[in-house]
Amino acid sequence: MTLWLVVFRSLRQHALSTIVTALSIALGGGLLMSVWAVKTQSSAVFTGVNGGFDAVLGARGAKLQLVLNAIFHLEASPGNIEWSDYQEIKNNPNVDLAVPIAVGDNYHGYRLVGTLPELFERAEYAPGRHYEFQPGGRIFDPTLREAVVGSFVAQKMNLNRGDVFHPYHGLIYNEKDQHSETYVVVGILMPSNTPADRVIWIPLEGIQRMTGHNPDNVTEVSAVLVKLKEGAAAAGFRLNTMYNKEGKRLTFAWPIGQVMVELFNKIGWVDSVLELVSYLVALVTSASILASIYNSMNERRREIAILRALGARRRTIFGAILLEAASISALGMAIAFLFYAIIMIVAAHIIRAQTGVVIEPMKFNQVMFWAPVALITLGALAGIVPALKAYRTDVAEYLSPSS
């Protein structure tokens, strides 16, 4: 009888405890891998998303709030800036592109952002990639009440080209705050997997002159998206000094990726807590292997004694128990990939719905290699104690007829 056959028969004989233990390992392993993958992917994606711009110029306030509002369309605007501020940075010789945006309205919770056609004509949301329209779509006419709808909004709100809608005042949807103006959808954007997918874009003046907005702010904008010319990193330092250190009225959030790193540094403790929970779950599930096999040792001692009487060596018995523990862990980790896939798909859906940022659930992550290796090794180590108990089984005692 081979070692594998001995292990297989033992697992089959204790099928219920084997399945329960394997499922607990699967849950712990799946949780550990998904927490790690979400953390690494979200950090890489959020610090890499910049909409094709290097910086954001806005009202005096926190850089993080400014970036979240202008790039990720999440936070409230820290305030407005004058049109002259936009023109000043636009005419800076080191600036390649400056696009103003204005916020303050929504459509059923999805943000309306006023901007200029340049955003679609010149900006590259990723290297070499411009915003593209679904067939028949086009950029809005800045003099008309027309709208370009992000792919995610169009899908969720069932908006199609030619549809007409009323905007609502504020960034939070309230059916009582409906504006009287109507906008016609002239274009649906192709998915860009960026926060732009969750936005409805309208002409800048559409936000500035919307009924109910303060007429004194008609020339103001919420922020300016800034792209520096290639090789103009030194200009970024100078603008950073000019606006943030020498000036007191505006904030220049540059570079955008570094600002987002600060966000992950602030919430890093959440990742640490989740990792700790995952490690504890893995440790507890490994302990369950020890308990499961150890508790079965008493009823298996006669079986072990027979194997010894048939010529099996002590080290063979010891190895069989370790292999059994490792096999339960391996079975659990195989199932863990199913839990991993489910958790990642749900997490990716939630992150996209809330931020527009897309993470790839099935993208390879190093944790998919080292976590199974670590947990299978941990499971095998958990089998040492019951293996020692089997190793010390007295053949004569357990082959003797019971009275």
Cβ atoms < 10 Å from Cβ of 284 = 12
- Each residue's pLDDT tens digit, 256-278: 988 888 888 877 788 788 778 87
Q: 395 pLDDT exceeds 80? A: no
Residue 400: predicted pLDDT: 67
Mean pLDDT, range 233-238, rounded to an integer: 84
Q: What is the Cβ-side half-sphere exposure of residue 261, based on CA atoms within 13 angstroms?
A: 6
pLDDT band at 1 (very low <50, low <70, confident <90, very high): low
Give the amino acid at 34: S
Beta-sheet pairing, 146-149 with 183-188? parallel
Residues pairing with 58 in the sheet: 223, 251
pLDDT band at 108 (very low <50, low <70, confident <90, very high): very high
Percentage of residues in the chain with pLDDT exceeding 90? 54
Helix and strand tally (H, E) in the chain? 14, 12
- Two structure tokens written together for 287: 């302990």
- Contact between 328 and 379 under an 8 Å Cβ cutoff? The reply is yes
CA separation for the pair 228, 234 (Å, rounded) = 10
Distance CA 167, CA 151 (A): 18
CA of residue 124 relative to chain centroid, distance: 23
Buried b (16+ CB within 10 A) or exposed e, 182-195: ebebbbbbebbbbb
Burial of 316 (0-12, 13-18, 19+ CB in 10 A): middle
